[in-house]
Structure 1
């Protein structure tokens, strides 16, 4: 039988497909790296480490968390966007680096640079002060910020914390001077050390300081059992949802089989009472989501942030 070039091409394609399929069937065969584009000790770092410790038992390979901070999350996020699309380099994703930063700064990536894998948790934003602060309530803080310039810790001019804090301050009628750090954990160190007046923060970062009686949360996005006496922004007439979230994304183009395996492993561990308890202990709410509906919701938020950035640029 005469062998044609077309026959050889078809045979080659089939062979490549079979090899690729076999390789995907064996995924993962080596350690998986998950980049956290923020410093150690913050909410993104802690939530990712809980996930990594649990999911590696399901996958049978080490899942290594690597902190790569810089540029308000841009350095680590861009690194993953340009990484090999094989499922062995993933990114801790959240409101800031996925939906806010690409719209409010010239980031070398966009939401479309990634394939969403899973959402793990949500965390309510709070305004926090030191234990000995003269501002005992959020009303006190608002009055103080209206009468003098107060400092507030955040983690980058275009970070989710700063953008949400601006919306809160605008509705409450005050302004603050932002002092940016490498992450929420670093901001809290400055608060309890008396270097700044306040910080916007999430429970994984401020919770240990509140429990140790070094700090006080004045107001937060929603009621939590761990902080039963803290009022919500809605109690002050501030409209909107102010929360961060933590998830895992892969570079755009990763095989769907990889996403499915990661999502399946996560689905299982997110039902484990011990994993749920670990998240609760750091002040995070398990909010596991995946698939088209979640992605559609994120695209809506992305468009809202894009419009907000355009409005700010024209002011």
Structure 2
């Protein structure tokens, strides 16, 4: 009888050990991630600079993760609509957001109403992707051929010139508002759904000026369809040789840099965030992606999630001061 009991105990122990092994192998629900396609929200239209960056990194990221990455364009309100959509998605690792500084930094301060998301609490940072100055562009037949000529043109036609933006609160809007304040000029803002439409209207002469990402603007500049007058970084860049900075031609502290970054809904498991960060950093360091970013006039710049969070916090503080000084508010 004793031997029988011992045999039963031994069998029971073996059964529990086997069950425990199965449980360990099964692991938490997200251990097998990713098991299905991942949605990459871009809050700007197809053909825009963020869209091109999204499609540049989505292919190698899909390959490294072993699952399709579906780019989902949700434009409108200067990027706020798509950003809000992503912030309310299920935090399970199957929704990412590629957005720019406007919706993450300036929009929450500029708009009086609740945007439906808080960039610091509703979205979790993954990695910075890159930075780029904006380019001041005008039609090819514009009276201005350089920055000082543009200021003279604007001062000689107060209120008669207009400029294009991808929406109130965008970096293009704030950059021009800052320039208007510094130079004592006034232009009428014309909002568009995306950068390609701004280019089309500038080529047609319907727009007199715009601050534009160089990846969209420079091919048209090189083709002779529009003119580029200056850039918004404090220092010249090898990406745009021959173009002076506004800081060197006008207000000495003028700077308005665009950046793109990846975020996920807050609450996404940290191990998924860490995996995405590691894969994105590796992709940004490949020669093929570096070369593609160069053709877009973007410097590929990665970060840790913590560094991206710090960037958002610091940029928000800097632009909040600008918005307050210019007394800017949006409905």
Same fold, TM exceeding 0.5? yes
Q: CA deviation at 1:160?
A: 2.1
Say which of 137, 144, 147 aligns to 1:138.
147
- Within 5 Å, which residues of 2 pair with 1:52-63? 52-63=58-69
- Of structures 1 and 2, the larger Rg is shown by 2
Q: Which moved more, 1:212-221 or 1:246-255?
A: 212-221
Say which of 65, 72, 91 aligns to 1:85.
91
Give structure 2 stretches of 5+ with no counterpart: 1-19
Cα displacement string for residues 194-228 of structure 1 (whole angstroms, at most 9, x for unaligned residues): 11111110112212211222112101024333431
- Once residues 79 and 118 of structure 1 are traced to their aligned partners in structure 2, the CA distance between those partners, rounded to angstroms, is 19
Cα displacement string for residues 117-170 of structure 1 (whole angstroms, at most 9, x for unaligned residues): 111011111110122222111111101111112111111122222012211222
1:284 equivalent in alignment to 2:298: yes
8 Å contact 2:41–2:71 — kept in the other structure? yes
- Once residues 144 and 36 of structure 2 are traced to their aligned partners in structure 1, the CA distance between those partners, rounded to angstroms, is 52
1:108 equivalent in alignment to 2:121: no
1:98 equivalent in alignment to 2:104: yes
SS in 2 for 1:127: strand
- Once residues 227 and 246 of structure 1 are traced to their aligned partners in structure 2, the CA distance between those partners, rounded to angstroms, is 19
8 Å contact 2:125–2:308 — kept in the other structure? no
SS in 2 for 1:41: coil
What's the RMSD between the two structures over aligned residues?
A: 2.2
Give structure 1 stretches of 5+ with no counterpart: 1-13
Say which of 235, 239, 242 aligns to 1:229.
242
8 Å contact 1:151–1:177 — kept in the other structure? yes
Q: Which moved more, 1:304-313 or 1:240-249?
A: 304-313
Q: CA deviation at 1:314?
A: 8.2
- Once residues 157 and 135 of structure 1 are traced to their aligned partners in structure 2, the CA distance between those partners, rounded to angstroms, is 25
How many pairs align?
A: 301
- Once residues 60 and 179 of structure 1 are traced to their aligned partners in structure 2, the CA distance between those partners, rounded to angstroms, is 43
1:30 equivalent in alignment to 2:59: no
- CA change 1:18–1:254 in 2 (3 A) is farther
Say which of 165, 180, 186 aligns to 1:154.
165
- CA change 1:227–1:87 in 2 (3 A) is same
TM-score normalised to structure 1 length:
0.89
